[in-house]
Structure 1
Amino acid sequence: MPQTIAFTKGHGTGNDFVIVPDPDGQLDLSDDQVAVLCDRRFGIGGDGILRVVRSSAIDEGAAAAASGAEWFMDYRNADGSKAEMCGNGTRVFVRYLIEVGWATWDDGPVAIGTRAGVKTLTRSDRGFEVDLGPFHVDDADVLVRTRGGGAPRPGIGVDVGNPHVVVALPDERELEGLDLAAQPQMHPVPPHGANIEFVVPADPLVREGVGSIRMRVFERGVGETLSCGTGVAAAAIAVRHWAGPAAPDHWVVDVPGGTLGVRMPEVDGENHVLLSGPATLVYSGEVTLA
């Protein structure tokens, strides 16, 4: 018998999601059902699914529940595959929790569980800011080739809870001319795949102590998206790494869907990366699952 479920459509700088409330963990969406819901012609349309489930109601949320994070963000890519985390998704997820009354700012920051650990969000001038935690840079080159893009270019690996490969381009003309309708090829291929970011530094790179870059991204399991929160963080980390020790800890990153902020403060003796930006809820409705 067909099942009808509630949903809300939301986005963060154009990175859009189908939000599915399932507080007690009773909904088991297949990969095919996720793909249909995310299909922009035959479904609602989105870069992924955010299932809103109590941490205590999902096996992967046990550690989050033990830490006191009531809610778990079960994030699925548009093809149905599971992903560790989604930076823009965390902001949209918490915006939804606040709007429906399942969380509040009264007690301070809001913590949510993800497959990459518990993430803490606060309000910021840009909307919401999420602490993505410590990050890791892998200097070993990964060669990235895009369709019609000529010779492959080197990229470096950046892990911010999920894997990324960041490639520097010389100018905005090359950035705008990239053909990302086809998945770029990587060699060697990272063990779990990776999101791939293509970045161009601003000129000047740093103004009044803040770095600035532009970026496009191809997300694994999705394709090119208007924005990728963890990709924005990874891109800023990579450019800061290339720029050397004098590079700033504050960055502004322009993506096709808008502008996001990145900070890299020291937290408990470790460098963390924090991402800030807006979160918008567009509309709500019901849909019958195939």
Structure 2
Amino acid sequence: MPQTLPFTKGHGTGNDFVIVPDPDGALDLTNDQVAALCDRRFGIGGDGILRVVRSAALPEGVATPDAEWFMDYRNADGSKAEMCGNGIRVFVRYLIDAGLASLAEGERLPIGTRNGTLAVTRSELGLEVDLGRFRIDETETLVRARGLGVALPGLGVDVGNPHVVVALPSDERLDALDLTVQPVLDPAPAAGANVEFVVPADPLVTAGVGGIRMRVFERGVGETLSCGTGVAAAALAVRHWAGRAAPDRWTVDVPGGTLGVRVVPDVDGPHVLLSGPATLVFSGEVALA
């Protein structure tokens, strides 16, 4: 008899996930099982898996002792990823709705990830996660994509996972991209990278808030309606290009909705924060292949 697996489906601005409760760390999903669950025709469908596991149930070196809960995020192809900005908000929404954690206004809920422990708070857009410090890599990476016409330079941005951001001059150029085909990076990062294509708003800044529009190709997934860390990376890239007068607050429009980005000072240097909605859609059980 195949194992029956309880699950919940959730999304953050259309970036959707299969949430699997495993508080005691009993599950060991293979890449093929993850891919089957995320298959949109033969499975539940999702851009990735969020396994909900207590940090204490994980081996030393993976466990995060300063957070009770660990978000074991897997891409739709089964590969492991360091972090997921939309996923962590959906993860926290699940914990709250399932009665596994609470988060009052003004409180911080620590969540363990492969990029360390990150804090989530409530915000006017829903939930906000402090992604921590970020790094801009000005080493030029050429990006080729179907519909792009010519290779364009991309800016490397690390927000706990790797991104390459490409600026485009118009919405028409952004809409013309065919992201059913993976963009090619030269030089190719050893661990791959998510690739974001952005168009600055006109005007770029309104009432002290910057604005951009973005599409993204996620490694291990393909084009998604949204990518939380990609949204943060895209805002950071445009802020970098805009120079010292650039604002620290941004709104980013993606095909699945709108997310907010803030850059704030901290004791160890500037941090980037991502805010937006997190929605649970339905729950059920599925036979695990």
Query: Is TM > 0.5 for Structure 1 vs Structure 2?
Result: yes
In structure 2, C-alpha distance between the alignment counterparts of 1:40 and 1:219, rounded to whole Å: 17
Which residue does the alignment assign to 2:52? Answer: 52
Deviations 1:125-175 (A, max 9, x none): 000000000000000111010124221110010000000000000100000
1:117 is displaced (CA, Å) by 0.7
Deviations 1:29-81 (A, max 9, x none): 0000000000000000000000000011122675512x2x0000000000000
Which residue does the alignment assign to 2:31? Answer: 31
Which residue does the alignment assign to 2:157? Answer: 158
SS at match of 1:240: helix
Runs of 4+ in 1 over 4 A off after TM superposition: 60-63
Unaligned runs of 5+ in 1: none
Which residue does the alignment assign to 1:227? Answer: 226
Which residue does the alignment assign to 1:202? Answer: 201
| Aligned AA (1:234) | A
221-230 vs 185-194, which deviates more? 185-194
Which residue does the alignment assign to 2:64? Answer: 64
Which residue does the alignment assign to 2:98? Answer: 100
SS at match of 1:182: coil
Which residue does the alignment assign to 2:15? Answer: 15
Deviations 1:196-237 (A, max 9, x none): 000000000001110000000000000000000000000000
What CA RMSD, in Å, does the superposition of the two structures yield over aligned residues? 1.1
52-61 vs 263-272, which deviates more? 52-61
SS at match of 1:270: coil
Matches within 5 A, 1:103-142: 103-106=101-104, 108-142=107-141
Deviations 1:63-112 (A, max 9, x none): 512x2x00000000000000000000010000000000110125921110
Identity of aligned residues (%): 73
Q: Does 1:75 align with 2:106?
A: no
Which residue does the alignment assign to 1:147? Answer: 146
Which residue does the alignment assign to 2:40? Answer: 40
The verdict on how the C-alpha distance between 1:63 and 1:32 changes in structure 2, with shifts beyond 3 A counting, is: closer
Unaligned runs of 5+ in 2: none
Q: Does 1:189 align with 2:191?
A: no
Matches within 5 A, 1:256-267: 256-267=255-266
TM-score normalised per structure 2: 0.98
SS at match of 1:75: strand
| Aligned AA (2:30) | S
| Aligned AA (2:33) | Q
Which residue does the alignment assign to 1:273? Answer: 272
In structure 2, C-alpha distance between the alignment counterparts of 1:61 and 1:79, rounded to whole Å: 24
TM-score normalised per structure 1: 0.97
| Aligned AA (1:160) | V
In structure 2, C-alpha distance between the alignment counterparts of 1:246 and 1:201, rounded to whole Å: 15
Which residue does the alignment assign to 1:86? Answer: 84
The verdict on how the C-alpha distance between 1:35 and 1:200 changes in structure 2, with shifts beyond 3 A counting, is: same
The verdict on how the C-alpha distance between 1:31 and 1:62 changes in structure 2, with shifts beyond 3 A counting, is: closer
SS at match of 2:82: coil
In structure 1, C-alpha distance between the alignment counterparts of 2:184 and 2:237, rounded to whole Å: 20
